[in-house]
Structure 1
Amino acid sequence: MIRCYEDFGVIHENVPLKAKDEGVEDNFELVFSSQEKAIVVSVLLQGESGERLEEEVAELESLLRTLGVQAVGRTLQKRQKLTPNCYIGSGKVQEIKELALQKGAKLIVFDRNLSGPQVRNLEEMTGLVVLDRTGVILEIFSRHARTNQAKTQVEIARLEYLLPRMTGAWTHFQRQRGGGALQRGMGEKQIEIDRRRARDRISRLQKQLEQIRKEKATQRKSRSNELKVAIVGYTNSGKTTLMKGLTKSQIAPKDELFATLDTSVKTIDPRTRPKILLSDTVGFIRNLSHSLIESFRTTLEEVSEADLLLHVVDVSYAHYEDHIKVTNSVLADIGAG
């Protein structure tokens, strides 16, 4: 997510989008400060399982730890339905604000995804930075992307995530900063400028990604006579560890979520004929937005075109069946189920 205050090491959605350098192609930054404290907010709707919600919240806290953010408090609200204005009740918002001040937290992180207006309203009511699950995942993706392909896919996903969250941001900025160097009435104009630049940037990136896709397709075609096995599964389930063991490669597995974003292809045993190629790619997670899946479709084509899918499951999780369902659902979305 692209938002923050001047005393917090992040770019706020209320700040105009800028290129890094004059004359350089637009670069919309998504920056997130580490070693910060956060309050995690969850909602239990009627008919939902409290035990499953507990696991989802624990997973969100694990995502935050991957960013170096410490969850110093949790708050849960049971509701019949969500409110369109601020997602939860206004009384609960005030309670969260007081808890954050008490704990020294500058972040409020919601387990579910929020709309642009909900984020803006919550920030106005609390004076704190509000993030949702997708915003946290996007920042992890941004930090872990290494190749041009992964970086391009992540930037497309970030911009598509940001676009609907620009509404009213500049007028909110003027209220917070008392106008500063901005002229009155320029807010809505700046929003339209930023939106247009973001759409233009997305268009350019999609063309770049299409070229990358063609190059990857050519590479896969050159391996058409080889057997292709793709390792799939929930994030941090041990896929890279398995690949290291099977291929005897020097890959260094990491005990963190989304450590792998770029597809890695290794030969199991060079002596076999035909060769058996093993690929390790991005893991899946619950409540992954459709736009994120679409952005990584190029990477996941390695999975779609595999001769065999090797599904890795960590059965140490109490509800590992949920992880299996999530993986199968994403595979079905990309036509590999």
Structure 2
Amino acid sequence: MEEKIYAMSQDPIYIGTGGYCIGRVDNTIVKDPITKIPKIPGTSLGGTWRYYMALEIHSYFEDDFKTDRKSREGKKLDGEIFKVCSPEWVKDFDGNRYAAIKCAGQDDMPNDTWKSMETAAVDKKSGHCGHCIVCETFGFSKQDKSQRGMAYFSDLNILLFPVYTRFGTRWITSKSILTSVGIDIDDDLNLNDDEVFESKKGTKEGTINLGWLNFKSKAMSEGTKCKLKELVNKNLSGSTILEENIIIASDDIISQIINSNLETRTSVSIDPLTGAAKERALFTSEAIPRGTVFYGDMRVEEHPLANGPAKEKVLGALKDSKKYFETLGIGGMTTRGFGRLKIFDWGDKDGSK
């Protein structure tokens, strides 16, 4: 089962390369090695989603004690593990509330044997349990047993990139990008590097600026407009602002447009003793700006064993836990206002998401 994932950044997204570069930007972000267009790696998406799924499970656990309103005394629960409103995939959780957190990130005890996992006490540091829906979805590896996950994530690539113009914000894409999401546009897009197609003409002079670059503007055909409108309505919650302000640029220049309009932010470390800026601690970071639309693929396969969770329950767990991307974010510098990402619902509009 394969689904297209569409997402929009609500804050600048910073996923660094882990290095330090001397130049206009000190902290650079991950880019495709061929096109040089920034992206969100599938490893970042899957690793963060694993933690959020474990977090979602914990939100459905009942408290260890319930307060009796009449006596205002705490009473220990007897057999009530999950809240009544819990979805089915949560009720099938095979583990305990402590194991869920241990399964959220990297295994802290990968050299333990599988047998010790089955008999581990609640308070034992056992790492990945190997039998909860988190481990089944994303996989695990122990000393004597490993299992691949059921879910696979591609990189999230840029579909529509926001650029400021004198007519307001426009979202930039190209023919090859649209083709990669299954849209065959009607226009004869043998564009020169200095030409673009606009869905909404903003000037009679036939030119438009994209950042500091100036292009000749052509009107987009009605057929292409309809296909872009369908894309926005079906996958991006029908944003009118998007569908009316899309520009198609040449495949040869799209990378230059995107990299010339990345958000750059200069920061400084604070000296905890003085409360002022720390000397020699100034640095500049680049990020994918808010309002960028991404696309990618998610594949969920059948469990290799008969007693594993069904694909529908894995998809339900992924769907219910994706909301944390909108609050806790993805990538680095989330405490500096980076990282929030909205992942749109996937699947058909008839409720079979």
TM-score (norm 2): 0.23
Greater RCO, 1 or 2 (C-alpha within 8 Å, sep 6+): 2
User: Comparing both structures, which one devotes a greater share of its residues to helix?
Assistant: 1
TM-score (norm 1): 0.24
User: Comparing both structures, which one devotes a greater share of its residues to strand?
Assistant: 2
Q: Please say which structure displays the higher CA radius of gyration.
A: 2
